[in-house]
Amino acid sequence: METKKIAIVGAGISGLLACKYTLSKGLHPIVFESQTGIGGVWTKTVETTKLQTPKPAYQFSDFPWPDSVTEDFPDGRQVLEYVESYAHRFDLIKHVKFGTRVLSIGYDGPPGEAMRSWSLWGGDGGPIGSGGKWKIRVQDCLSLETETYEVDFVILCVGRFSGVPNIPEFPPNRGPEAFHGEVIHSMDYAAMDYQAAREFIRGKRPVVVGLQKSALDIAMECSAVNGVERPCTVLYRTEHWILPDYLPWGVPLVLLYLNRFSELLVHKPGEEFLLSLLATLLSPLRWAVSKFVESGIKRKLPLKKFGMVPKHSFLQQISSCLVSTVPEKFYDRVEEGSIILKKAPEFEFCKNGILIDGEVEPLNSDLVILATGFRGEKKLIDVFESQLFQDCLSGSPNSIVPLYRECLHPRIPQLAVIGFSESVANLYTSEIRCRWLAELLAGTFKLPSIKKMEENIEEWDKYMKRSSGQYYRRSCIGALHIWYNDQLCRDMGWNPKRKKGFFAELFEPYGPTDYVSP
Ligand SMILES: Cc1cc2nc3c(=O)[nH]c(=O)nc-3n(C[C@H](O)[C@H](O)[C@H](O)COP(=O)(O)OP(=O)(O)OC[C@H]3O[C@@H](n4cnc5c(N)ncnc54)[C@H](O)[C@@H]3O)c2cc1C
């Protein structure tokens, strides 16, 4: 039988994993990567950026971190080296076409009308279904020549945190065009050489917009270069629970949130009556655990003093995959005045800087760095030529991007997405998804009907709205990752219970090494 051709878009962690596991099933993957190297977001980070997830949770199941990396939170360079050695170990590089951007993908198969009438994915519930083909239009990033490839299956691993910056919108003449200084996005800052970045901010009065990891790292770099002479202002909309470490009151956070017991306290999508009852009965404990962590953070960081106590719970923070750690000595810099924290739910630009809603005097500045994230959804959706598929993936404005098992759209045949929905350790989540996908491609299991997949997506949609509030579109499975993995394991015919003994199963944290072998 002819070997099916697989196109993988992106050679970040997700694309490399997809490559490894499709190869393991005897398939022929070709990986298109627009950059000149592998590693995606880790190819270039802000100099001081470190891994946010503790190293044991952010590792390949069959490839431990080398002994030479002794830090619990390796820096960007170390993460890239680890990913590169993984790719060499499993001989993945030869499958990657570097400097090749995928411009668009178009499906050549049954017409839209016929596809709408399907009750099974792709017509028969199998991976290649009706036997249509995907046409992948690629461009050589140097010569700009284009070429078209024909494949049986596409795996989109284009990443969520790069490429298309999220730039806030402003009324006419109140955006960056009104400002006489410079405005850049954090991705432009991260792209600079470390020395060039330092020179770029030297002597300026920067404003960093945002309160996520990149914003804090950039603010630290600005304060290190300019000190209290020219403080860096961090403009934020919402306070967040940012961890000083993963040990609130000395208790490992993984024991509080990443074991089966912690998941018993949460209402789960598709849960049975007994589990639902248990989650309701245990809700006071859920609340108490969250308060315990919050008080541990407040004990170590002067949040109250600087008006930084969030209004939402820590449970919501972790359920939205918004957990990050505060850079070392960050609040020392705030105390000394080289970093100023300023809440600004709304702001606009003016000639000399930024005008915060409700304030009369502008915040004078000559450089604004927008650490306002990325529009990962847009990057994903725009790659489709077909309006029908674009609409399918967009879903409704009030729902998550509708992906079954966070991998497949029930109405887009012969295509999977890896690395869109988030968890607290994205590498490990991408790995188990790639293994699930490889088993599907190998015919180990078939998918349920489209109706059943849509019902399942709806249940997760409700869960995400309940648990993540305004951040539900991040499609975070963080607080329920074991429950989620259980479903993938059952599909693949693996035993979802990976620990030895009742107490270990209930209280030991789950991580990548629990899924080394079926
Ligand atoms: C600064 C930073 C710190 C982070 N820290 C953590 C952490 O501590 N823990 C954690 O779990 N997660 C963290 N993340 C999230 C991180 O994105 C994931 O952990 C993971 O690296 C994502 O890998 P990916 O392969 O899915 O996506 P990416 O790494 O974004 O890779 C996508 C690849 O696709 C390529 N590509 C995109 N579009 C095209 C196209 N059209 N044609 C060809 N190639 C294309 C890109 O060039 C890129 O190489 C962090 C992210 C950032 C930005």
363-381 pLDDT tens trace: 999 999 999 999 999 999 9
Q: Is the CB of 136 within 6 Å of ligand 1?
A: no
The chain-wide mean pLDDT, for the chain, equals 95
Helix (H, G, I), strand (E, B) or coil at 157: coil
> What's the confidence (pLDDT) of residue 251?
97
Which positions ≥6 away from 405 have C-beta within 8 Å? 433, 436, 487, 488, 491
Task: With both helix axes pointing from N to C terminus, report the angle between 426-441 and 13-23 in degrees, rounded to the nearest 10.
Answer: 30
Count the neighbouring beta carbons within 10 Å of the beta carbon of residue 437: 26
Give the mutation target among 158, 428, 434 for probing the ligand 1 site: most ligand atoms within 8 A of CB: 158
Q: Is the CB of 161 within 6 Å of ligand 1?
A: yes
Q: What is the mean pLDDT of residues 398-402?
A: 92
Give the mutation target among 50, 104, 161 for probing the ligand 1 site: most ligand atoms within 8 A of CB: 161
Model confidence at 185, pLDDT cuts 50, 70, 90, reads very high
Q: Is the CB of 426 within 6 Å of ligand 1?
A: yes
For ligand 1, what atom is nearest to the CA of residue 425?
A: 11
Residue 1 has pLDDT above 80, yes or no: no
Task: Quote the pTM value.
Answer: 0.96
What percent of the chain shows pLDDT beyond 70? 100
Q: Is the CB of 76 within 6 Å of ligand 1?
A: no
Q: What is the mean pLDDT of residues 49-68?
A: 96
Instruction: Give nearest CA residue, ligand 1 atom 8.
Output: 52
> What's the confidence (pLDDT) of residue 26?
94
Kindly report, residue by residue over 406-453, the tens digit of the pLDDT.
Answer: 999 999 999 999 999 999 899 999 999 999 999 999 999 999 999 999
Q: What is the mean pLDDT of residues 214-219?
A: 97
Q: What is the mean pLDDT of residues 108-112?
A: 87
Residue 122 has pLDDT above 70, yes or no: yes
Q: What is the mean pLDDT of residues 95-103?
A: 98
* Range of lowest pLDDT (123-132, 210-219, 485-494): 123-132
What is the whole-number distance in angstroms between the Cα of residue 158 and the centre of ligand 1? 7
Q: What is the mean pLDDT of residues 191-208?
A: 96
Which positions ≥6 away from 108 have C-beta within 8 Å? 132, 133, 134, 135, 150
Q: Is the CB of 212 within 6 Å of ligand 1?
A: no
Q: What is the mean pLDDT of residues 287-304?
A: 98
* Range of lowest pLDDT (120-124, 240-244, 458-462, 492-496): 120-124
CB 9 within 8 A of CB 157: yes
> What's the confidence (pLDDT) of residue 396?
85
For ligand 1, what atom is nearest to the CA of residue 12?
A: 25
**If you search the block for the tokens 């959804």, which residue do you land on?**
377
**If you search the block for the tokens 């012969």, which residue do you land on?**
414
Q: What does the alpha-carbon distance between residue 407 and residue 389 come to, in Å, rounded to a whole number?
A: 15
One-letter amino acid of 446: K
Q: What does the alpha-carbon distance between residue 483 and residue 495 come to, in Å, rounded to a whole number?
A: 13
For ligand 1, what atom is nearest to the CA of residue 423?
A: 11
Q: What is the mean pLDDT of residues 227-241?
A: 97
Q: Is the CB of 41 within 6 Å of ligand 1?
A: yes
Q: Is the dihedral of CA 39, 381, 57, 61 positive or negative?
A: negative
Number of H helices, E strands in the chain: 18, 16
Q: Is the CB of 78 within 6 Å of ligand 1?
A: no
> What's the confidence (pLDDT) of residue 2?
67
Instruction: Give nearest CA residue, ligand 1 atom 29.
Output: 40
Residue 131 has pLDDT above 90, yes or no: no
Structure-token pair, residue 452: 């059943």
For ligand 1, what atom is nearest to the CA of residue 32?
A: 43
Give the DSSP letter string of 386-449. Answer: -HHHHHHHH--TTS----BTTTB-TTSTTEEE-S-S--SSHHHHHHHHHHHHHHHHTTS----B
Q: What does the alpha-carbon distance between residue 167 and residue 270 come to, in Å, rounded to a whole number?
A: 37
Q: Is the CB of 154 within 6 Å of ligand 1?
A: no
| Beta partners for residue 384, in sequence order | 105
Kindly report, residue by residue over 493-516, the tens digit of the pLDDT.
Answer: 999 999 999 999 999 999 999 999
Residue 383 has pLDDT above 90, yes or no: yes
For ligand 1, what atom is nearest to the CA of residue 57?
A: 11
What is the whole-number distance in angstroms between the Cα of residue 392 and the centre of ligand 1? 23
Residue 110 has pLDDT above 90, yes or no: no
